[in-house]
Amino acid sequence: MRAGDNPALMNPTSIAHGAAIAVSPAAASIRERADPRAVLADRVEQLYGQMWLAILTTFAVGAIATFELWEARLRELVLFWWGLVLLITAASCGLLYAYRRSPDRALDPGQWLRRLAIAALANGANWGFAGAVFFPSHTDEQQVFLAFLLAGMMSGGIPAYAASWPIFALYAAGIVAPFTYVLATFGNRLFTELALLVPLFYAINVAIAYRVTQVFHSGYRLRHAYGRLTEDYKASGRKLELFARRAPIAVLEMDAQGTITEANHAAELLFGYAAAELTGRDIRVLVRPEFHADFDLRWNRLIAARAPEAGLIRNPRRDGIDVLCEWTFTPLVDAEATLIAVLAQGRDVTAQREAERVKKEFTSTLSHELRTPLTSIIGSLQLINTGVAGQVDKDVAEMTLVAERNGQRLLDLINDLLDVEKIESGKLSLAPEVLAVDDVVREAMLLNKAFGERFGVRFELASPLPGCQVLADRKRLLQVMTNLLSNAAKFSPEGGSVQILMQDAAREVRVGVQDRGPGIPEAFRGRIFARFAQADSTASRQKGGTGLGLAICKRLIEMMQGRIGFDDRPGGGTTFWFELPRSQEEMPCPNAR
Amino acid sequence: MPERPLNRICYVEDDEDIQRIVRMSLERVGKMTVEVVGDPTMAIEAMVSFRPDLVMLDWMMPKMDGPAVFRQMKLRPETQGLPVVFITAKAAQRDLDELTAMGAAGTISKPFSPKDLPDQLREIWKKLP
């Protein structure tokens, strides 16, 4: 669930930053989301949508013009022109009908645009023809009538073809070009001047049509972009809904008062209520009454700050049994920071907590119940072995020594297991203090002297660093040293010596324990610091050891901000080393490099 | 450091085996006089009559645990000044710190070494005011 299918709503970083979740579309680059073909199709649709008006106007004005010009001369030509009007009207009607009937007209809008352009050019040219033929041959009044008619037809084309200025330009050119020619060749000064003005009007009209087209175009693009955005939002909304419904965690949606408005399937299963039963009820029905005050406090804080809240809540189920859940409450706000809803996600941690408790109890039992009898066993054997309990036969003494040694081994194993458990559950806390490394190393050598003697091995401090200080936990550092020294003793040849080397660098101090043992087998090197890692289990049975020592050392040194490792010489002999950061408070080491 | 050497020890412990080991360790290795009390509810009376230099308490005991005995000791004028050392199988540093905070003179973890136990007690004895 952390993966966050919907970045706007489930982004974990926005929760981590304590921000409420805002639901607002990003305004930038919305227009780029529109599909150009769909926009063109819309424009073509608009052009065809008002085509009937243009057809009707052409027919009506054509009829009036025919009636008006009929009285005059050139009746055959007037009749011919009227025939053209009817033809164009019929063709346009046919085109409109074909467009309306075409099921895939949106697929190739360019084609329909071209057809319309031809119709518009024909229509415009017909009006131009009327102007060119009838203007010179009629009376002054009729000339005025024609001029008005043509001007009206031209300007009427702007709204009709607003969605495509090139069509308007063609249409208007059809009207203006023959008419201007007639005006220019009339031989009258006034008309010559008009012949100059008419193209100017034409140009202005085309410019206006161009602007209007731009406005339409951008309007359609916006409409499409928003349409697509809305679809995207619907899709992500559906995705989120599906995600919430199928999520293995309980998801509840509430209003600002805490009334549940939605609950998913996991919530139904967890609390034993149907979603319909939860809807309309207060969220506090899922909180134990004794925690209501605390819950209200946090709820009010969430509402006031619009910031998410998280925590553990003991939730009573419908059957009265409590479940312990880890909850995240996230306020959902809009762009104006108005609270839309509160989303709650809850994970049942009852079993997990119970398992943790059992594990803790087990560890505590292991610690107490195993160590108490071991105290008696090892104690008794020690009293025999040290002669306190009186003299015993040599063979018996040998056996009791074996018994004590193995009792001690068992105790070491228990202690190591407890350490591993503590480290892994994060319960191991260190008490760091400023320590003289030299002192700790000497103390460790003294403590392990007897152990070394058992294997006939001497510990020698080869390069002491008096006065050099580190920040570390004394007891745990001794534990690490004890581990390294006893390992070195176990794997050294009898009668050999183990060298303790100390090196001082600018920032850290390195302590190395060098043995003359057989070295670390190649295959074992990679997992030497892993738990229960032993190169040779027969050796471990002979020499004791749990296989946990180095794993614990590694974690302890790392917890003290240090590093641990080993260098192996091909001819035999291994140096295990650790580095600890030098204390900031110390005086410089006398032999610091 | 008290002027007289550490001699009389009262040990409250329910486990009979450990009682025996401690008694042998303190008497034979440490040459001390030991009074072992197996029932913690009788501990105060035993201390009053035995008048030890130092009291050793086991932590976990049935009926009454070590800290409870310690609290009761604080209520009696005869026992409230006695130094107390806890012997416990609890290994957590937090638990040991808790005992020190209660006013314990020291803590010794189980398993202890009977060979070293008298010396450990004398170390604690030396550090007393």
DSSP A385-425: HTTTT----HHHHHHHHHHHHHHHHHHHHHHHHHHHHHHHT
Amino acid at A31: R
- In the Cβ-directed half-sphere of A128, how many Cα atoms lie within 13 Å? 19
Q: How does residue B19 score in pLDDT terms, banded at 50, 70 and 90?
A: very high
Q: CB distance from B68 to chain A under 8 Å?
A: no
CB contact under 8 A, A368 and B17: no
Taking the whole predicted model, whether its pTM rises above 0.90 is answered as: no
- Phi, then psi, of A45 in degrees rounded to 5: -60, -40
Q: Looking at chain B, which residue has its C-alpha nearest residue A414?
A: B91
Domains, in order of start, for chain B: 8-119 (3.40.50.2300)
User: How remote is the C-alpha of A121 from its chain's centroid?
Assistant: 57
DSSP state of A259: B
Question: How many Cβ pairs closer than 8 A exist between chain A and B?
Answer: 63
Nearest CA distance, B72 vs chain A (angstrom):
25
Quick one: pLDDT at residue A72?
63
Give the integer Cα–Cα distance in Å for B30 and B15: 21
3-state helix, strand, coil in chain B (%, to 5): 45, 20, 40
Quick one: pLDDT at residue B22?
93
CB-based contacts of B85: which residues, under 8 Å, 6+ apart? Answer: B54, B55, B56, B57, B104, B105, B106, B107, B108, B121, B124
DSSP state of A5: S
Cβ-count burial A400-434 (b if 16+ within 10 Å, e if not):
beebbeebbeebbbbbbbbbbbbbeeeebeeebee
CB-based contacts of A11: which residues, under 8 Å, 6+ apart? Answer: A4, A21
- Phi, then psi, of B2 in degrees rounded to 5: -65, 150
Q: Answer yes or no: are the C-beta atoms of A484 and A513 closer than 8 Å.
A: yes
Give the integer Cα–Cα distance in Å for B17 and A66: 133
- Of the candidates B108, B92, B97, the one whose C-alpha atom is nearest the C-alpha of residue B18 is B108
- Phi, then psi, of A509 in degrees rounded to 5: -115, 135
Q: What angle do CA B113, B117, B120 make, to 5 degrees?
A: 120
Facing residue for A382 by CB, picked from B94, B110, B113: B113
Mutating which of A364, A375, A388 best tests the B interface, going by the most B Cβ atoms within 10 A?
A375
Q: Answer yes or no: are the C-beta atoms of A275 and A267 closer than 8 Å.
A: yes
Give the integer Cα–Cα distance in Å for A185 and A176: 14
Restricting to B residues 3-22, those with a Cβ less than 8 Å away from any Cβ of A are: 15, 17-18, 21
pLDDT one-digit tens code per residue, A21-40? 555 444 445 556 667 888 88
Quick one: pLDDT at residue A536?
59
Q: CB distance from B79 to chain A under 8 Å?
A: no
Q: Looking at chain A, which residue has its C-alpha nearest residue B114?
A: A379
Q: Answer yes or no: are the C-beta atoms of A146 and A135 closer than 8 Å.
A: yes
Quick one: pLDDT at residue A13?
37
Residues from chain B contacting residue A373 (CB–CB below 8 Å): 17
> What is the full per-residue pLDDT of chain A (593 aa) written as tens digits?
333 333 333 333 333 344 555 554 444 455 566 678 888 888 888 889 888 988 999 899 999 988 888 776 678 888 898 999 999 999 999 999 999 998 888 888 889 999 999 999 999 999 998 888 888 777 778 888 888 888 888 888 888 888 889 999 999 999 989 888 888 888 888 888 888 888 898 999 999 999 988 988 888 888 888 888 888 888 888 888 888 778 888 999 999 899 999 998 999 999 999 989 999 999 999 998 888 999 999 999 999 888 899 988 889 999 989 999 999 999 998 888 888 899 999 999 999 888 888 887 787 777 777 888 888 899 999 999 988 888 889 899 999 988 998 888 888 888 888 888 778 777 788 888 888 888 899 989 988 888 898 889 999 988 888 878 888 888 899 999 999 999 899 888 888 889 999 988 878 899 999 988 888 887 788 888 887 766 655 555 455 566 788 989 999 999 999 999 998 877 678 899 999 988 866 455 544 44
Nearest CA distance, A402 vs chain B (angstrom):
16
Asked, as a colleague might, if the bond just before A588 is cis with ω within 30 of 0, I would say: no
Q: List own/partner pairs for A242-246 with CB under 8 A and 24 or more apart.
A: A243/A5, A243/A6, A243/A10
CB contact under 8 A, A431 and B93: yes
Facing residue for B111 by CB, picked from A378, A386, A388: A378
Quick one: pLDDT at residue A544?
59
Q: What percent of chain A has pLDDT over 70?
A: 89
CB contact under 8 A, A371 and B17: no
